[in-house]
Homo-oligomer: A and B are copies of this chain.
Amino acid sequence: MNLKELSRHLNLSQTTVSRALNGYPEVSEATRKRVQEAAHALNYRPNARAKGLATGRAHAIGHVIPVSNQHEMVNPVFGDFIAGAGSTYAQRGYEIVISLVDDSQEEEAYRNLRTRGSVDGIIMHGPRMDDPRIPLLTELGLPFVVHGRASDINMPYSWLDMNNARAIRRATDFLLDLNHRRIALINGLEHMDFAHRRREGYLAALTDRGVTPDPELMRGEEMTEIYGYRSARDMLATDDPPTAFVVSSMMTAIGVRRAIHEIGRVMGRDVSVITHDDDLSYLKNGENIPIFTATRSSVRQAGVLAAEMLLRLIDDPGQEPQHRLLEAELIIGTSTGPAPTR
């Protein structure tokens, strides 16, 4: 059932039917109703491609997610982010187009989305410190919102970020207040902007209290469980082990916990752990009593807000770039306690 058939069926022109369905005023309410009913009854749905061709709008949003083939990883955070964004899109009738793209050919992917016209806007994931994608997207002229920021880029662009520096700073301060001085940082890959900022927050907290950061206590890798385990195990086996860990993700913190358990220590008593918690749906940080003391910020919510921001940008393109900085909440769990006195 297409427009032509429907209009013939109604003894109306395609113009009128199209207008009736799209809410234009040049059609009487009586006919509009008649058209709508017929459309519903005959199960008519406009063809998306034709509509797109005619209007120049794809009614779709592109999410390009970098898949570094060395790691073969897809960020676990992505599922929840997209779920949040998706709920916003759904309300507005937008589709989600996902491109999984090898690091090496990201530029090509973005250009493709642009020139092939498959999307009206893009959400960019996983920005690095000096991310070339930002100037590229700006040049392409396609509306986009960055989930995160890029520290070394100072051209204007729209972003939505969590205050990583402050969150980790608070976390570190929390441990310092508990008299910890040997505090390890189990960070994400530090060419990623969020990880860089977290490190800055960690360092600032330490130096402000006159604690000299120890390179032996700082790591930055892909945030797997194994990585947390390995890092904690190694660090705890040294002569001067950390008494506390600041960890970049729940998944990794679980690995840290495993290492602590393995050597018969008790988390929260012998060794403290504080982690960032993205509030993932399948990995909630406990129920009433949180497992981990954590800085919490819902990535799902970030998805909702980023999508709203992008749709605003698409709706009127003349707008200034928009920004939104989310603050993490500090959740006190049972994984932290005063530094053990020797």
Alpha-carbon separation in the docked complex, A1 to B115 (Å): 9
B52 touches A49 (CB 8 A): yes
What chain B residues lie within 8 Å of A100 (beta carbons)?
A: 82-83, 86-87, 90, 96
Given A75-B282, A286-B226: A96 touches B98 (CB 8 Å cut-off): yes
Contacts of A60 in B (CB 8 A): 97
Q: Which residues of B contact A300 (CB under 8 A)?
A: 72
Integer count of this chain's copies in the complex: 2
Q: How many residues of A contact B (CB 8 A)?
A: 60
A224 within 8 A of B: yes
Q: Are A73 and B254 in contact (CB under 8 A)?
A: no
Contacts of A115 in B (CB 8 A): 1, 43-45, 47
**Which label, helix, strand, loop or mixed, suits the secondary structure of the A interface?**
mixed
Given A49-B58, A76-B283, 10 other A-B residues pairs in contact with their CB atoms under 8 A: A44-B115, A47-B116, A47-B117, A72-B83, A73-B282, A74-B79, A82-B100, A96-B98, A224-B281, A230-B287
9 tightest A-B CB contacts, nearest first? A86-B100, A48-B116, A45-B115, A73-B281, A49-B52, A74-B83, A96-B98, A74-B79, A49-B53
Q: What is A's interface to B at a CB cutoff of 8 Å?
A: 1, 43-50, 52-53, 58, 60, 67, 71-76, 78-80, 82-83, 86-87, 90, 95-101, 111-112, 115-118, 222-226, 230, 251, 254, 258, 261, 280-284, 286-287, 291, 300
